[in-house]
Amino acid sequence: MCGIAGIIGDYKESQLDEMLSSQHHRGPDATAKYFDTGFAALGHNRLAIIDLSAKSNQPFIDDSGRYVLVFNGEIYNYIEIKEALQDQYDFKTESDTEVLLAAFIIYGKSCLEKLNGMFAFSIWDNQEKKLFAARDRFGVKPFYYSLFHNTFYFSSEIKALHAAGITKKPSEKVWASYFAYGSYGNPKETFWSDIVELPGGHFLEYDGKNLFLKKWYYFEEEVAKQPKNITFEQAKEQYVGLLKDSIKLRFRADVPVGFNISGGLDSSVLLALVNLQENDKNQKSVIGNLQSAINAYTFYTNNSDYDELPWVEKMIAKTNNPLVKVLLQADEIPTLIRKMQWQQDEPFGGIPTLAYAKIFEHARKDKVLVLLDGQGMDEQWAGYDYYTQNNEATIQGVQDSPYKTKMLSDTFFAKAEKPLYPKPFKDEVLNKQYRDLFYTKIPRALRFNDRISMAFSTELREPFLDYRLVEFAFSLPLDFKIKEGISKFILREIASEYLADNLVFAPKRPLQTPQREWLATDLKEWVAQCFAELENSVYSNWFDKDSLENELKSYFEGNIQSSFHLWQCISLYEIAINNKFAQAKTNN
């Protein structure tokens, strides 16, 4: 888990220095650079997780001196790949970094299909003067780039590209679509002009003149390869086996590992299987540094209408894991959002994301540098209520539209594009799951969570997003997923073998913090200030002033069914206007 940066073409060393400085939080353990004079500059910020020695620092160069790798992420199955390559490559380290480079040298681009992990990496070929870069199947790790004034720039975070000199100008089309439809852009787009994202499951090549992009992961084809006519019991057995292996792989680390827990079913299953992993002493030879007591982390707000702490404590009572409870209070929000919005570079999910960020801050203080969480279960097991409803909703538990287009000026609204998502499957539920996996839910959550974990120099791993699990679960019949109105049915059947019924059949709670209430009461003065400054900013022409004021007044008077439109305005204010914090951080 690290930060990568590079410039191919006309560069100044000071540009690379600024890029690495801006994302130093991603890798505080070592910073290094590589130059192919006149052609390329590569940089790396290292957070040491596997093979902590300096010999595994990056940029990593092969013995021939031809290939140079900068890599962000983890290759979880690096031990198995290394064993397969022992006779073809002379390994000098115990790192997954060297395994990745060796796999590329021996297998070429097809190495991507052999990798089980989260990754964004670039390899510079200083013989051919050509860059190869790739991103993991679901886009867990970020890769941003810009072809600016005939020079190619790439980095792990948008702010690094701005630090290199890419003009900081909002993309009005993406912003308008965000306000009008809740869209965060298509897989290539960002909220900033001249900066794009390499989509998950894609690679690119750049030779100084031509930029070539290609998709390498074809999810639909992999789903079609899954076993057919499988029984419910066979499916359950196969899924449990894959899940146990996924968790085992994600415990490979040379630093302490913990996990995040909520009161939901997904966290309950993770808790149960993590402790099975811990108790299996035979696994230590392949897990590595498996500590005797695995910390569990959860957040709460002291609001019984939202807090899942009672459910969490019931689960922990069965396993006796050390539980670290992290409190979020309303008066922390203005300061936290300023810091997190600078980290995010783009709008993020609201106060629950801030609460989640505090977990990583606490874990870092505890020297727990790797955390697991339960992201990805709802999308593979059709766990959201809207999957079986005849609508285009992407938000759980919302009745009225959270998007208030009347707030927008006519000229700004005209720039919005309603997102249209591909429907590669005959079944409508599968198409909604596909949309959430590759276009809405998962890409957003992964981006939010990457930034908040890296803000505190910690690594987040997602065992439920192992591609083998997602492909298999996705392929199963709908009545394995939803039965007699019960969602994630097969997962509940699996959980019932480890957990009490009152945990297995706990209802899904779509709201995790009192964001709606806090914005209307505790934070009312701050919210009003954000809106007032927005109205007097250069972005005021994006809005219809009277409608904007009426929406805020209506909210303060009690119409708080949804707070998303308020959060949208606050995000714009913090990103584009209230930039004193960003300037201070950039100048440090």
Asked if pLDDT for residue 286 goes beyond 70, the answer is no
| Cα–Cα distance, 506 to 263 (Å, whole number) | 8
pLDDT > 70: percent of the chain = 91
What is the reported pLDDT for 398? Answer: 56
Give the residue with greater pLDDT, 497 vs 233: 233
Q: Are 204 and 284 within one domain?
A: no
Q: Output the domain CATH number for residue 411.
A: 3.40.50.620
State the chain's mean pLDDT as an integer: 91
Asked if pLDDT for residue 92 goes beyond 80, the answer is yes
Residue 225 resides in a domain: no
Residue 224 resides in a domain: no
The total number of structural domains that make up the chain: 3
Q: Are 428 and 530 within one domain?
A: no
pLDDT > 90: percent of the chain = 79
Active site residues: 2
Asked if pLDDT for residue 328 goes beyond 70, the answer is yes
Asked if pLDDT for residue 284 goes beyond 80, the answer is no
- The stretch 126-140 carries a mean pLDDT of 97
> Which pair of structure tokens corresponds to residue 287?
């897990």
| Last-in-domain residue among 475, 504, 533 | 504
Q: Are 211 and 251 within one domain?
A: no
> Which pair of structure tokens corresponds to residue 187?
């897989």
| Cα–Cα distance, 216 to 219 (Å, whole number) | 10
Asked if pLDDT for residue 386 goes beyond 90, the answer is no
| Cα–Cα distance, 548 to 404 (Å, whole number) | 9
| Last-in-domain residue among 217, 242, 261 | 217
| Cα–Cα distance, 52 to 62 (Å, whole number) | 19
Q: Are 83 and 58 within one domain?
A: yes
What is the reported pLDDT for 501? Answer: 58
Give the list of residues 6+ apart from residue 70 with CB closer than 8 angstroms, or none.
Answer: 4, 5, 6, 42, 43, 44, 58, 59, 60, 121, 122
| Cα–Cα distance, 236 to 156 (Å, whole number) | 38
Task: For residue 281, name the pLDDT band (cuts at 50, 70, 90).
Answer: very low
Residue 510 resides in a domain: no
Asked if pLDDT for residue 29 goes beyond 70, the answer is yes
- The stretch 52-72 carries a mean pLDDT of 96
Q: Are 210 and 283 within one domain?
A: no
Q: Are 241 and 314 within one domain?
A: yes
Give the residue with greater pLDDT, 460 vs 262: 460
Secondary structure, 3-state, 340-402: HHHHHCCCCCCHHHHHHHHHHHHHHHCCCCEEECCCCHHHHHCCCHHHHCCCCCCCCCCCCCC
**Strand pairing partners for 298?**
325
Q: Are 476 and 526 within one domain?
A: no
Burial of 304 (0-12, 13-18, 19+ CB in 10 A): exposed
- The stretch 120-126 carries a mean pLDDT of 98
Residue 188 resides in a domain: yes
Residue 456 resides in a domain: yes
What is the reported pLDDT for 531? Answer: 96
What's the pLDDT tens digit per position in 562-588? 999 999 999 999 998 765 433 333 333
Task: For residue 318, name the pLDDT band (cuts at 50, 70, 90).
Answer: confident
Give the residue with greater pLDDT, 55 vs 388: 55
Q: Are 270 and 358 within one domain?
A: yes
What is the residue range of 318's domain?
Answer: 233-504
Q: Are 427 and 549 within one domain?
A: no
Task: For residue 391, name the pLDDT band (cuts at 50, 70, 90).
Answer: low
What's the pLDDT tens digit per position in 552-563? 999 999 999 999
* Best CA proximity match to 319, nearest among 277, 271, 283, 363: 271
| Cα–Cα distance, 77 to 99 (Å, whole number) | 10
What is the reported pLDDT for 493? Answer: 87
Task: For residue 275, name the pLDDT band (cuts at 50, 70, 90).
Answer: confident
Asked if pLDDT for residue 280 goes beyond 70, the answer is no
Task: For residue 504, name the pLDDT band (cuts at 50, 70, 90).
Answer: low
Chain centroid, CA 82 distance in Å:
27
Asked if pLDDT for residue 394 goes beyond 90, the answer is no
What is the reported pLDDT for 510? Answer: 60
Residue 441 resides in a domain: yes
The answer to whether 374 and 461 are in contact (CB under 8 A) is no
What is the reported pLDDT for 319? Answer: 82
Q: Are 410 and 312 within one domain?
A: yes
Chain centroid, CA 539 distance in Å:
29
What is the reported pLDDT for 585? Answer: 37
Q: Are 528 and 396 within one domain?
A: no
| Cα–Cα distance, 131 to 146 (Å, whole number) | 14
| Residue with token string 């390329």 | 40
Would strands 370-372 and 257-260 be described as parallel, antiparallel, or unpaired? parallel
What is the reported pLDDT for 296? Answer: 94
CA atoms within 13 A on the CB side of 527: 26
| Cα–Cα distance, 197 to 532 (Å, whole number) | 33
* Best CA proximity match to 9, nearest among 153, 121, 143: 153
Residue 223 resides in a domain: no
Binding residue per annotation — 378? no
| pTM for this predicted structure | 0.94
Measured from the Cβ of residue 282, the count of other Cβ atoms closer than 10 Å reads 7
Q: What angle do CA 80, 83, 84 make, to 5 degrees?
A: 90
> Which pair of structure tokens corresponds to residue 50?
């596997």
Asked if pLDDT for residue 548 goes beyond 60, the answer is yes
| Last-in-domain residue among 504, 537, 570 | 504
Task: Give backbone dihedrals phi and psi of 133, rounded to 5 degrees, phi first.
Answer: -140, 145
Q: Output the domain CATH number for residue 85.
A: 3.60.20.10
| Cα–Cα distance, 515 to 568 (Å, whole number) | 13
- The stretch 344-350 carries a mean pLDDT of 94
Give the residue with greater pLDDT, 74 vs 278: 74
Instruction: Please provide the DSSP assignment of 267-288 as one string.
Output: HHHHHHHHHHHHH-GGGHHHHB
The answer to whether 299 and 363 are in contact (CB under 8 A) is no
> Which pair of structure tokens corresponds to residue 489?
């049915």
- The stretch 113-128 carries a mean pLDDT of 98
What's the pLDDT tens digit per position in 247-270? 999 999 999 999 999 878 888 888
Residue 380 resides in a domain: yes
- The stretch 305-314 carries a mean pLDDT of 89
Q: Are 358 and 240 within one domain?
A: yes
